Amino acid sequence: TETSPLLKVRALNAWYGEGHALQGIDLDVRAGETVTLLGRNGVGKTTALRTIMGIIRSRTGSIEFDGRDMMRVPLHRTAHAGIGYVPEERGIFATLTVYENLNLTPVVARGGMSLDEIYTLFPNLKERRNSAGTKLSGGEQQMLAIARILRTGARLLLLDEPTEGLAPVIVQRIGEVLVTLKQRGMTILLVEQNFRFASKVADRFYVVDHGQVIDHFAVEQLPDRMSMLNEALGV
Ligand code: ATP
């Protein structure tokens, strides 16, 4: 239905061996929303994305995407269901060109962006289309990583720290790309340490600590939360 979220996560637990990394996370991402997970290093943000994607199989709880029970969907079908994951390490093919990276990506769900659409959204990737991944700047690699996933037809993007290690002007450019994607109706779940960047693109926030959600709020409530965030995140 229209009111139920596109992604609904309830009581999600995940383990690395004995390590109980996620301890009962609840979160919703409505269609068209950008939601950001905030939290210090090592609290479980990356684990949350990897568990939703189905990479971590040692998990309990429920993950519903577009009404579908994702706990029953094997990893190799997650992308087909319409979820795309851009890991922190980006996962592009370093020895292949931009063009090859964009064309090796299978279109697994309906609505995958055409090469023309990608080049319109990322003009610099068009300019660099014959360059190998290794020759790209960090910002270009990040854009290629996002572009590859947009080729698949994902309707929900899981982005892990897309601004990490990038110069402010590139961070701003990535922010513009995310805003454009939002305008096109994309739904985004973002892990981000760059609080200023997150506050420009996100509609809502969840604060994660020790594998649990300790707070959640809308961007409008941000001013009221600043002292709590200062304490929880040191921002
Ligand atoms: P960061 O931003 O540093 O990645 P995070 O909030 O994303 O932090 P996670 O990477 O999800 O945190 O890590 C959560 C916990 O799980 C940490 O205690 C971490 O040490 C542990 N962990 C992460 N990956 C593994 C792994 N492959 N094997 C064992 N423990 C892990």
Backbone angles phi, psi at 144, to 5 degrees: -65, -40
pLDDT tens digit string along 19-72?
A: 999 999 999 999 999 999 999 999 999 999 999 999 999 999 999 999 999 999
Find tokens 């998990």 and name the residue: 59
Read off the pLDDT of each residue in 203-210 and give the average, rounded to a whole number.
95
Question: Between 1 and 176, whose confidence is greater?
Answer: 176
Distance of CA 170 to the CA centre of its chain: 17
* Burial class of residue 95 in the structure, from the number of CB atoms within 10 Å of its CB (0-12 exposed, 13-18 middle, 19+ buried): exposed
pLDDT tens digit string along 62-112?
A: 999 999 999 999 998 999 999 999 998 888 988 999 999 999 887 777 889
Q: What percent of the chain has pLDDT over 70?
A: 98
- Residue 65 forms beta bridges with which residues? 7, 68
Cα-to-centroid distance, 113 and ligand 1 (Å): 32
Find tokens 């360059």 and name the residue: 131
Question: Tokens representing 39?
Answer: 């939290």
Residue 28 · residue 9 · CB < 8 Å: yes
Closest atom of ligand 1 relative to the 48 alpha carbon: 11
Residue 112 · residue 152 · CB < 8 Å: yes
Tell me 152's DSSP state. Answer: H
Please state, in angstroms and rounded to a whole number, the distance separating the CA atoms of residues 131 and 124: 11
Cα-to-centroid distance, 232 and ligand 1 (Å): 18
Question: Residue 1's pLDDT band (boundaries 50, 70, 90)?
Answer: very low
pLDDT tens digit string along 191-201?
A: 998 888 999 99
Task: Decide whether any atom of ligand 1 lies within 6 Å of the 45 Cβ.
Answer: yes
Output the pLDDT for position 235: 62
Closest atom of ligand 1 relative to the 161 alpha carbon: 2
Sheet holding 59-65, edge to edge: 19-29, 7-16, 59-65, 68-69
Cα-to-centroid distance, 101 and ligand 1 (Å): 28
Residue 161 · residue 192 · CB < 8 Å: yes
How many residues does this entry show for the chain? 235
Torsion 153-156-158-163 (CA) sign: positive
Cα-to-centroid distance, 76 and ligand 1 (Å): 23
ipTM of the prediction? 0.93
